[in-house]
Structure 1
Amino acid sequence: MKKGTKNRKPKTELKMQPMYASQRFLCKSCRKSLTVPLDPQQKHYRRDINEPLYLSFVNKGIINRLLDIYDINPQTIYGKIDFFYEQSLLFSRYHEHELQNKLSSYVPVLSCDHQFYLSNWGDTGTPMPTRLSNLSTVDNVTDYILTSTINFDFKTDSEYVKAEYKRKKEGSKRNYYRRFAQYVLSDEDVESDSENSYKIPLQRPSKGLLIFQAYSALAHFNKVKSLMQDCDHFVYFLDNDSGFKQHVPAIFHEEIINSKLYAYLLSSDKNGGADLLDAGMSEELKSRFDEVKSANPDLDIKVVWQKCGKCNLIDQ
């Protein structure tokens, strides 16, 4: 308040300020400037596109088709993927603050299973995909997905890890002597960590690092354990998988002894749901493989698969 205005009420003044997308800072040490984004919704404010596009991604929409449907360019759609990812992380963190308290108010009944995906990381015409495994745990009472863990690391410097793997010749060491034992860094490890009825050749991703399913499963169950700390007891249904038989007792050892966890391994008849390819695609690839192999009997198996992919491009 100004001088001479003791008996007057202070005035409130409102000023409209523009909303800036980012703010620049100057480092006092190196004297370099850097930009920090302030508004996460900058350039992504159109709700008429954001909501249906997000639902399309959730329902496995094809990016090339979505470009035509919503009339947006590839740079925009990939920017929205990053935006959706950051917003989903914030949404998940917000709800996880109260998740432990809410889970302790009843007896959670959980279910856990694998989902497998194939990704043509390099050449879409070469049938040598990368197999990704996603492990999810769902609360059957509320249908809420507690956590999902995929065996892929996109944050670690993959070029450095691969260079160290070659420099130290860790391929000749046993897994427990390797520095980066959790990562799949050779073609042999890709094949050994995958199971499918029709043996199609697999490859490592060109970007990022593939993680062994055992390590991702242990991390997944450890996350579930942290969410169940305040529960008196809970029930856990899992697929009758050989890895689950080892991972669950390793993580939930005390919970099982104290009768806090009641875990059940369920088995059912195999219906082909875990196969990497459906019956039609398997038969098509098999007939194409036999045709190329009969014409080139001396070729290596992987070279034959590459020729099958080139035949597919020619047919298209």
Structure 2
Amino acid sequence: MHPLEGVSRWTNPDQPDAYIVIGTSAASKGRSSLQCRQCKETTALISNAAVVEERDRLLTWYRPTPMSACRTPGCENQGRDVVEAPEAYQRFGRTDTGSPRYRCRVCRRTFSSCRSVTHRLRQPEKTLEVYRYLINRVAMRRLCEIADIRPATLYQRIELIHERCRAFAAFHERPLLAGKLLGNVHIATDRQEHLLNWASAIDRRQSVLMATASAEGKSGYILAQHVNFDPDADPFACDLAAREAGDPDLHVGFRRFARLWLPHERLDASPSGDREAELTTHEDFRPASRGTPVHENIAMAAHFQVLRRLLAGADHIQFSLDREPGIERTCLLTFADRIRRGSLDAFLVRINKTLTVNAKRAALWEAEAALARERTNHPGRSDVEVLFAMLAARYRVAVQNIPRPRDRWIVHPYPAINEPERASVCLTDNGQRETGRLLQGYARASLRSIDRYFMQIRRKIHLLERPIHSSSADGRAFYGYSAYSALVVIRLLDIFRVTYNFHLTGKQKTTPAQRLGLTDRVWTLDEILAFEGG
């Protein structure tokens, strides 16, 4: 059965018996699945409540940061910003440092508004210096030596930079949530793995974080980036509450704490063939000491739910998806209504990442030779027209020889050197799509925009460079400059996403945010830090 057909039945209330639940026995260890009665294909059963809970947590990124608000517990004005609700407060002079003071009209308590987020720092100029070093491949210990600061000061400045970047990006990205018109967009989605070093010689198990990110193809703008980790959830308190709620005796999709990966799940887990089950049962996997991991399928589903909100103003969406487990099904289920209306197409992209540089160049030369022969056979046509004709010919052959649309992998006639042997298959080809539209989708299907961003992360953030696997460490990965804290990784990824979108320029001397229409200029690092509009 084609995935699109499964999406239609899943979301159709008129066919409630289209699926049956399997894996309800004790041997399944709580991992149930839905099986299609027609084709017998299965999909994992997850908690909708957990997805919504994680989506709402991720959407807090876009909330305004209350810079001046009543702090009295229980007051009805608590957390209401002066800018958003000026009628709730009255001016009440200034402090000795010149900051404006306000009085709450309900509880009559006073509070002050900071003139600057750095006005209490002894060396505010160090913040910009730390920011520059963080995004230019300087190791943490080396950064402390160059900037002449203590490690505690470094992490305090990272927290400050992260908060400023969050407020800056939230202010500029709120128009997307409000339905900003985007026209036709091409989104590339992939995941990147980050390993955390072991914290002590006693416990040498690793923590693995998965960062899911989506980039707009034409502009290169990173729309969203989410890590499967909740730094505010206490793993032991949540585990205790889950046991009291009876979660260990329930199937995963029906648990109260289905969103989080808790210690009792590792003890009860068994290999079931999926990536996360193998990860959670690996003896070298170490749960985080602060914060709690989020199940990968829940984190991925929440990521696409956030994208759904951000892309509400798009006329047509094309997804290019990497062949990561679960990405394609999650995307199809999230955007099922758009797929049925014909305003979204999804393509799975395959790239041969094992080729050497010489092999990539040889493949490119072969493609150029084939293009030259086609130019001779079609004089007067442009290169774009020739490539499109080659793609159309390959598609016709695939239609004739492969009856199932899901299996029609089309190799691009002219792949780039960074995407050797690129091939794609349309996941939304239900036989009713126009051939010209499908061919345009095959021509655009690419992961170049998101792969470039991931490459920049590895190259520019020293803390997130690929670790080294050594035989002396019994196969464990260790890198002396890698992070020990998941919270630091999350903050650095958020900082770099904002920097990449609004500060770093390409060959056209414009930023991704400019090309997407979210801003009209290049922002400097000190302007991002000093931004007060969030």
Among 258, 262, 266, the alignment partner of 1:181 is 258
TM-score, normalising length: structure 2: 0.44
Among 152, 158, 163, the alignment partner of 1:86 is 163
Count how many residue pairs are aligned between Structure 1 and Structure 2. Answer: 270
Q: Which residue of 2 aligns with 1:218?
A: 301
Q: 1:101 to 1:159 in 2, by over 3 A?
A: closer
Among 213, 234, 249, the alignment partner of 1:136 is 213
**SS of equivalent to 2:132:** helix
Q: Which residue of 2 aligns with 1:209?
A: 292
Q: 1:195 to 1:23 in 2, by over 3 A?
A: farther
State how far apart, in whole Å, the 2-side matches of 1:141 and 1:110 are.
Answer: 9
Which residue identity is paired with 1:73? R
State how far apart, in whole Å, the 2-side matches of 1:281 and 1:150 are.
Answer: 23
The more displaced of 158-167 and 228-237 is: 158-167
CA displacement, residues 61-119 of structure 1 (integer Å, 9 cap, x when unaligned):
43222111110112221211111111011111111133468963442221111011111
CA displacement, residues 152-173 of structure 1 (integer Å, 9 cap, x when unaligned):
1112344421221344453343
Q: Which residue of 1 aligns with 2:148?
A: 71
TM-score, normalising length: structure 1: 0.71
Q: Which residue of 2 aligns with 1:233?
A: 316
1:281 counterpart = 2:481: no
Q: Which residue of 1 aligns with 2:233?
A: 156
State how far apart, in whole Å, the 1-side matches of 2:278 and 2:130 are.
Answer: 33
Q: CA deviation at 1:59?
A: 4.9
Q: CA deviation at 1:220?
A: 0.6
1:269 counterpart = 2:361: no
State how far apart, in whole Å, the 1-side matches of 2:151 and 2:110 are.
Answer: 27
Q: 1:47 to 1:277 in 2, by over 3 A?
A: closer
Q: CA deviation at 1:124?
A: 6.3
CA displacement, residues 194-246 of structure 1 (integer Å, 9 cap, x when unaligned):
768xx771111011110001111111111111111111102211102230122
**SS of equivalent to 1:79:** helix
State how far apart, in whole Å, the 2-side matches of 1:155 and 1:23 are.
Answer: 31
State how far apart, in whole Å, the 1-side matches of 2:472 and 2:203 are.
Answer: 14
Contact in 1 for aligned 2:102/2:111 (Cα 8 Å): yes
Q: 1:140 to 1:49 in 2, by over 3 A?
A: farther
Contact in 2 for aligned 1:135/1:150 (Cα 8 Å): yes
User: After superposition, where does 1:188-207 map in structure 2 within 5 Å?
Assistant: 188=267, 193=276, 201-207=284-290
Q: CA deviation at 1:258?
A: 1.2
CA RMSD of aligned residues (A): 4.0
Q: Which residue of 2 aligns with 1:248?
A: 331
Q: 1:183 to 1:51 in 2, by over 3 A?
A: same
Q: CA deviation at 1:58?
A: 3.5
The more displaced of 85-94 and 279-288 is: 279-288
State how far apart, in whole Å, the 1-side matches of 2:139 and 2:166 are.
Answer: 23
Q: CA deviation at 1:280?
A: 5.5
Q: 1:177 to 1:107 in 2, by over 3 A?
A: closer
Q: 1:170 to 1:61 in 2, by over 3 A?
A: farther
Unaligned 5+ segments in structure 1 are 1-14, 289-316
Which residue identity is paired with 1:148? Q
State how far apart, in whole Å, the 2-side matches of 1:173 and 1:86 are.
Answer: 38
Q: 1:98 to 1:217 in 2, by over 3 A?
A: same
Unaligned 5+ segments in structure 2 are 1-92, 356-450, 455-463, 477-534
Q: 1:220 to 1:279 in 2, by over 3 A?
A: closer
Q: CA deviation at 1:56?
A: 3.1
Q: CA deviation at 1:125?
A: 6.9
Which residue identity is paired with 1:226? R
**SS of equivalent to 1:235:** strand
Q: 1:114 to 1:194 in 2, by over 3 A?
A: farther
Q: 1:231 to 1:24 in 2, by over 3 A?
A: closer
Which residue identity is paired with 1:180? F
1:113 counterpart = 2:301: no
Q: 1:108 to 1:201 in 2, by over 3 A?
A: same
Contact in 2 for aligned 1:184/1:190 (Cα 8 Å): no
**SS of equivalent to 1:98:** helix
Which residue identity is paired with 1:115? Q
State how far apart, in whole Å, the 2-side matches of 1:250 and 1:52 are.
Answer: 45
The more displaced of 42-51 and 162-171 is: 42-51
State how far apart, in whole Å, the 1-side matches of 2:234 and 2:110 are.
Answer: 22
**Structure of greater relative contact order (alpha carbons < 8 Å, 6+ residues apart):** 2
Q: 1:159 to 1:278 in 2, by over 3 A?
A: closer
**SS of equivalent to 1:184:** coil
State how far apart, in whole Å, the 1-side matches of 2:299 and 2:231 are.
Answer: 14
State how far apart, in whole Å, the 2-side matches of 1:16 and 1:26 are.
Answer: 15
**SS of equivalent to 2:315:** coil
State how far apart, in whole Å, the 2-side matches of 1:225 and 1:77 are.
Answer: 36
State how far apart, in whole Å, the 1-side matches of 2:105 and 2:231 are.
Answer: 28
